[in-house]
Amino acid sequence: MDKSWQVTLIYFITHLGLIFFMYPGDIIASTEDGHWIPIVLGFAVHLGAIAVYMKGLVRLGNRDIVSMYLGMGKGVSLLFLLPITVYFLLICVVSVRCLSEIMTVVFLSSTPLWAIMFLFLFISSYIAFKGIRSIFRTGLLIGCINVPVILFFFSASFQNVDWRYVYPLIGKSSFLTNPSYLESFFVFAGGFLFLGFTQPYVAYRKRHIVFGALALLPFFVFSVYIPILTFGQATASTFNFPFVVALDTISITWIMFDRITLFLLLSLISFMMLYLSIVLWSAMRVVNQSFPSLKPAYILLAIPLFVFIVCLYIPDWKDITEFYWWGTYLRFYILVAVPLSTCFFAGRIRKRKVGL
């Protein structure tokens, strides 16, 4: 049964959860003007990676990328599956720690950080344990409830903007080698990998993912420009989470709640928890197919436990940013090598079948 719209929705909402937290601060810190240029350039790289990845997945047919790499021999599987697994662990550590920090600042100032991290991992692990179909059903429910909330507050966030801050449109500073800009590719790398794990379980049309990616472009642009148009470049660059701070300036008098942005943050956090469950499930699939003797339930206990312990040893925000930077080169390896290798090895597999 065709599940194209469900898979596309999961891809869309998980990236929404990634966009609004770290990404705006990284782009704002990478250049002082012409912010649309690094945004469009990064998005073009992401779109190109998606297009190549989808082409390879079409050639694979009903196989996932893990079985593809394992079928190419131990050397190839080690070259690709080990970095993918390490990157999945890195995503879990950074996401859980950052979300916990945000929850502490915004919602639960008196709650211990370890309790929040444990809650995130417990819920995400439980959803992952139920399997990819349960993840998709959960994502459908979360998307139907929270996407309208996102769109409402996203449109309301324009009420305090000053459009003069959009100038100059052409930046003079170089951003390509700026560490903050390289870190911004965290949003583009890794979020699409789950598409190569779902093929044996869920059938979908690959071109729909490209349409979902194009629908994300306005959110990439305005997640950066709303803080800039609200505060200006000089002020927005001082915030760790510029878009979250910009939301606090929204004033809607006909709503009975004082801090309406809490609803938006809860929606984004629910998207991130869904993303965590997909990453945990994908990491479990890699380990389980590489070592079939290990039971999936044990793997889904071991991975969150490892992530929880690592998160406990990260003392403050400065160390989080360093941990965030350590994954930069691995991030680009995933973004470039996995789509290209999928397309290449899938083509070789097809030639072998034709030869037979």
Task: Summarize pLDDT for 66-105 with one digit per residue, the tens.
Answer: 888 888 888 888 888 898 888 898 888 888 888 888 888 7
Which residue do the tokens 């709640």 mark? 257
- State the angle between helix axes of 113-129 and 261-290 in degrees (0 to 180), rounded to the nearest 10: 60
H/E segment holding residue 2: none
Instruction: Give the pLDDT score at 212.
Output: 86
What's the per-residue H, E or C state across 304-318?
HHHHHHHHHCCCCHH
Give, in order, the Cα–Cα distances in Å from 327 to each of 94, 248, 284: 10, 31, 20
Helix residue ranges, H only, 107-232: 113-129, 132-156, 179-183, 207-231
Q: Where does the pLDDT of residue 258 fall: very low under 50, low under 70, confident under 90, or very high at 90 and above? A: low
* Residue 189 CB-density burial (10 A; 0-12 exposed, 13-18 middle, 19+ buried): buried
Q: Which amino acid is at 325?
A: W
SS3 at position 203: strand
Burial letters for 194-225: b for 16+ Cβ neighbours within 10 Å, e otherwise?
A: bbbbbbeebebebebbeebbeebeebbbbbbb
- Top pLDDT among 50 and 323 is at 50
Assess contact for 286 and 81: CB atoms under 8 A: yes
Task: Summarize pLDDT for 301-351 with one digit per residue, the tens.
Answer: 999 999 999 888 887 777 777 777 877 888 888 888 888 888 887 766 666
Q: Where are the domains of the chain?
A: 4-355
Cβ contacts of 318 within 8 Å, gap of 6 or more = none
- Token pair of 28 as six digits: 């704002």
- Geometric angle at alpha carbon 129, from 125 and 130, rounded to 5°: 125
CA–CA dist 112, 232 (Å, integer): 35
Report domain 4-355's class: mainly alpha
Helix residue ranges, H only, the chain: 4-19, 22-30, 36-60, 65-71, 74-106, 113-129, 132-156, 179-183, 207-231, 233-236, 242-247, 261-290, 296-312, 317-326, 328-355
Which residue do the tokens 């505060």 mark? 231
H/E segment holding residue 177: none
H/E segment holding residue 175: none
Assess contact for 207 and 8: CB atoms under 8 A: no
pLDDT average, residue stretch 44-61: 87
Task: Summarize pLDDT for 144-200 with one digit per residue, the tens.
Answer: 888 888 888 778 778 778 788 777 777 676 778 888 888 888 888 878 888 888 877
Task: Summarize pLDDT for 208-240 with one digit per residue, the tens.
Answer: 888 888 888 988 988 888 888 888 888 888 887
| Strands, E assignment, the chain | none
- DSSP string of 146-171? HHHHHHHHHHHGGGG--GGGG--SS-
Instruction: Give the pLDDT score at 95.
Output: 85
CA–CA dist 13, 18 (Å, integer): 9
- Output the pTM of the full model: 0.89
